[in-house]
Amino acid sequence: MKRVWIAFSVLGGLGLLTAIVLTVIEGVKYRVREEQGLDPIYAPDWVAVSTYAGLWLFVLAVIALAMTGIVAVVQRRRRHTKA
């Protein structure tokens, strides 16, 4: 059970980190273009898709961790009631 928690924690962390890093990088690019007097441009499609994928990975990992925790609690209660 511990390995599952670690795996989902790492995946969720990577997803969130991806979303944060790409958002910050594109925000800085936007601000630099704005300060130069240029029209800011939209982020490339791959950045948008990667950001959404990272956020979805984070959300799914949080849900999986919650479900794993619920299953662990239920199993622990069943063990204690049988004894």
| Residue 40: per-residue pLDDT | 84
* 12-66 confidence digits (pLDDT tens): 999 999 999 999 999 999 999 999 999 888 889 999 999 999 999 999 999 999 9
3-state secondary structure of 1: coil
39: helix, strand or coil: coil
Hey, CA dihedral for 59, 62, 68, 74, is it positive or negative?
A: negative
- Domain spans in the chain, listed from the N-terminal domain onward: 2-82
- For the segment 67-81, the average pLDDT, to the nearest whole number, is 89
Q: Are 15 and 56 in contact (CB under 8 A)?
A: yes
pTM: 0.80
Contact of 19 with 49, CB cutoff 8 Å: no
